[in-house]
């Protein structure tokens, strides 16, 4: 497939395999639709197959936006964009890159949650690979069916914990597809280097098992050694078929997520975005908030609502950041407290899951979140429990009584699971909250003051980390890379952003952010001796040159 670089023509004559006529119009990677030029129409057998006017890409973007904006229902908007991706990939990415605030909530959270729930009902065309429990012993052969050997990143899920929506089985395929679209849109990873994988080992979701249109395996989930063996076979096969591949684990349930990460992170370039990506974006939000308050990280106490992957990942990275500011590890961990469905996570609680134990401190058991806020007087509350409205008026007013500028991060997704809305956080704290959310909220005005809340969106982090790792063929993805990514992201936030309550930069700057993170991650790979290539003379230029731009290339000189 030709590289698509801005305004450039393909070098030399078209290769033998290059499709012509209707086959070209049906190839989403090459199709330009009504933008094929007169010369291309003549040379490639297209004359008569298209309306006579030759559109510019700008006209095509306007046409897409006009249609998109006529649709009210988010799921129908998702379907419309998906069919554009199936028809004309370059135009699809152009539309997203130019309109990230409008498009990203549709191709990813929150709308992707609806799309996953309805996956079997809205399914239109294949995308990505399905590795199922029935492929045992032949996973490498399945991977070889993928048409491109230069895949760079696999995003894989087993669908057991999709966003805050639970077990959606094979319907979870919407997540790897959406995440990889973000890789291309946010960091310029070429679409051909992106491989979505559904690790379909069944589902325990009864309503899906009974749904006649469900497309996944109709069996209960594989567990234990059988699960682990199939995952090991998959990872080994991925390494063999796609040398240098990076694997991103996505939306696995706790009982598999931590084990998979810990088993594989030192032998394979892999990471878990729910744990590590979330951690980095949240640390960046905290660092931005501290630029406003002027307080030190070491003065903070964090209370999490939820004690799962996101909470543990964030607390681990906060601990590393606190240690880098001089605290010893035990003291740093004591700055992080968690409340789960059974109350405050404390030492005396029996049968705590492994990942919660290091945050189980000596303290009497407290049942409610409000009581925990009262007892611990946190400076920051971080909602990652998918419990809607858990940050109620009482909690936020108490935070505002205890702190001049309380940090209130309502990170649960989708919007229906948010712990509070932006409006609630600002209005119940007299406009003093430093707020970040997991789902987007519109700008708002309270008492004559305008607030622009921004999403603690993992898309600021994982695309840059992945791009940097792939570009230098890193053999591992380290914690240091995520810590650095958080600091780079926080550094990109302007004073003007902070003044309007934004703890993150505008999404329209995400490609700039990603390229800076990719350069920083690549530099760490060289420093740590885990890069698989020679150090380029100019790392920045090297990364920039890898970034795909969704612009048409001339096929005919």
Which one, 493 or 543, has the nearer CB to ligand NAD?
493
Q: For residue 129, list its beta bridge partners.
A: 197
- Two tokens, residue 518: 């990719």
Between CA 158 and CA 162 the distance in angstroms is 9
Phi-psi category of residue 190: left, alpha or beta, with phi > 0 → left and psi -120 to 50 → alpha: beta
Rg (CA), the chain: 24
CB of 203 to ligand NAD, least distance (A): 16
CA 153, CA 79: separation in Å to the nearest integer?
A: 24
* 390/543 with CB nearer ligand NAD: 390
In the 8-state DSSP scheme, what is residue 350? S
In the complex with ligand NAD, which residue's Cβ is closer, 154 or 339?
Answer: 339
- Bridge-partner residues for 195, per DSSP? 154
DSSP annotation of 415 reads G
Q: Which is nearer to ligand NAD, 64 or 284 (CB)?
A: 284
340 DSSP β-pair partners:
343
> How far, in Å, CA of 89 to CA of 234, rounded?
28
Active site residue 108: yes
Q: Return the number of the residue (254 or 429) whose C-beta is nearest ligand NAD.
A: 254
- How far apart are CB 61 and ligand NAD at their closest, in Å? 28
33 or 414, CB closer to ligand NAD? 414
Residues 429 and 397 sit within 8 Å (Cβ to Cβ): yes
The rounded distance, in Å, linking the Cα atoms of 411 and 387 is: 10
- Of 32, 93, 130, 179, which residue is the catalytic one? 179
The residue among 157 and 403 lying less far from ligand NAD, judged by its C-beta, is: 157
Least CB distance to ligand NAD at residue 186 (A): 14
Query: For 242-328, where are the alpha helices, taking DSSP H only?
Result: 254-264, 278-293, 309-324
Minimum distance of ligand NAD from residue 251's CB (angstroms): 8
Known catalytic membership, residue 179: yes
Gap between the Cα atoms of 276 and 396, Å rounded: 27
As measured in angstroms, the least distance from the Cβ of 208 to ligand NAD is: 18
Alpha helices in 135-275 (DSSP H): 139-144, 174-187, 206-210, 224-241, 254-264
CB of 455 to ligand NAD, least distance (A): 7
Distance CA 497, CA 6 (A): 31
Distance separating alpha carbons of residues 94 and 552, to the nearest angstrom = 10
Q: Give me the count of residues in the chain.
A: 557
Closest CA relative to residue 231, chosen from 154, 131, 144: 131
Residues making contact with ligand NAD (CB under 6 A): 161, 163-164, 254, 274, 278, 281, 305-311, 339-341, 384-387, 411-413, 417, 438, 456, 458
Cα separations in angstroms, 206 against 21, 154, 414? 47, 29, 22
CA nearest to 297, candidates 311, 283, 309: 283
8 A C-beta contact, residue 340 and residue 307: yes
Task: Say how far apart CA 397 and CA 424 lie, in whole Å.
Answer: 10
Q: Name the residue with the smallest CB distance to ligand NAD.
A: 308
Q: Which is nearer to ligand NAD, 352 or 522 (CB)?
A: 352
Tokens 């063929």 correspond to: 473
Nearer to ligand NAD, 40 or 340 (CB): 340
Tell me which H or E stretch contains 132: strand 129-132
User: Closest approach of Cβ 173 to ligand NAD, in Å?
Assistant: 17
Burial degree of 72 (CB within 10 A; 0-12, 13-18, 19+): exposed
- Residue 84 beta carbon to ligand NAD: minimum distance, rounded to whole angstroms: 26
CB of 196 to ligand NAD, least distance (A): 19
* Angle, in degrees to the nearest 10, between helices 479-491 and 309-324: 80
Q: How far is the CB of 538 from ligand NAD (least distance, A)?
A: 33
What span, in angstroms and rounded, lies between the C-alpha atoms of 204 and 218?
A: 9
**Phi, psi angles (nearest 5°) of residue 387:** -110, 105
Comparison of 235 and 387: residue with beta carbon closer to ligand NAD: 387
| Catalytic pick among 32, 93, 108, 356 | 108
- Catalytic positions, written as ranges: 108, 179
């Amino acid at each position: 497939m030709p590289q698509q670089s801005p305004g450039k023509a393909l070098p030399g004559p078209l290769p033998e395999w290059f499709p012509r006529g209707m086959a070209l119009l049906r190839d989403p990677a090459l199709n330009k639709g009504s933008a094929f030029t007169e010369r291309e129409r003549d040379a490639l057998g297209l004359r008569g197959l298209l309306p006579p006017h030759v559109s510019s890409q700008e006209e095509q973007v306007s046409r897409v936006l006009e249609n998109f904006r006529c649709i009210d229902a988010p799921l129908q908007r998702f379907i419309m964009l998906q069919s554009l991706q199936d028809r004309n990939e370059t135009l699809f990415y152009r539309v997203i890159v130019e309109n990230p605030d409008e498009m990203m909530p549709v191709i990813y959270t929150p709308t992707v949650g609806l799309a996953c729930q309805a996956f079997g009902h809205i399914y239109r065309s294949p995308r990505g690979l399905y590795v199922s429990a029935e492929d045992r012993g032949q996973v490498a052969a399945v991977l070889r069916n993928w048409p491109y050997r230069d895949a760079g990143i696999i995003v894989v899920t087993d669908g057991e914990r999709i966003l805050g929506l639970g077990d959606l089985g094979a319907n979870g395929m919407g997540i790897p597809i959406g995440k990889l679209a973000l890789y291309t849109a946010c960091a310029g990873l070429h679409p051909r280097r992106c491989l979505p994988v559904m690790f379909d080992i069944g589902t325990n979701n009864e309503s899906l098992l009974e749904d006649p249109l469900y497309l996944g395996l109709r069996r209960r989930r594989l567990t234990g050694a059988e699960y682990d063996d199939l995952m090991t076979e998959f990872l080994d096969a991925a390494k063999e078929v796609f040398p240098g591949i990076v694997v991103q684990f996505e939306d696995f349930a706790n009982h598999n997520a931590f084990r998979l990460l810990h088993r594989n992170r030192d032998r394979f370039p892999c990471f878990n975005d729910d744990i590590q990506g979330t951690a980095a974006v949240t640390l960046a939000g905290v660092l931005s908030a501290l630029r406003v308050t002027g307080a030190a990280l070491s003065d903070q106490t964090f209370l999490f609502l939820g004690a799962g992957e996101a909470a543990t990942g964030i607390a681990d990275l906060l601990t590393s950041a606190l240690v880098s500011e001089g605290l010893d590890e035990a003291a740093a961990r004591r700055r992080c407290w968690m409340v789960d469905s059974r109350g405050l996570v404390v030492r005396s609680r029996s049968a705590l899951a492994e990942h919660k134990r290091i945050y189980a401190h000596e303290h009497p058991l407290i049942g409610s979140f409000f009581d925990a806020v009262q007892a611990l007087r946190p400076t920051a509350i971080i909602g990652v429990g998918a419990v809607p409205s858990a940050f109620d008026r009482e909690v936020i007013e108490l935070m505002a009584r205890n702190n001049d500028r309380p940090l209130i991060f309502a990170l649960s997704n989708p919007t229906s699971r948010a712990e509070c809305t932006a409006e609630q956080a600002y209005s119940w704290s007299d406009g003093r909250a430093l707020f970040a959310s997991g789902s987007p909220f519109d700008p708002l005005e309270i008492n004559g003051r305008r607030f622009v809340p921004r999403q603690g969106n993992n898309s600021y982090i994982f695309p840059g980390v992945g791009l940097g790792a792939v570009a230098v063929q890193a053999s591992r993805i380290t914690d240091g890379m995520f810590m650095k990514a958080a600091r780079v992201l926080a550094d990109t936030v302007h004073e003007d952003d902070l003044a309007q309550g934004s703890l993150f930069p505008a999404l329209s700057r995400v490609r700039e952010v990603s390229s800076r993170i990719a350069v920083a991650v690549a530099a760490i790979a060289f420093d740590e001796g885990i890069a698989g290539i020679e150090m380029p003379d100019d790392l920045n230029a090297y990364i920039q040159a890898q970034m795909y731009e969704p612009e048409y290339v001339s096929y005919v000189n």
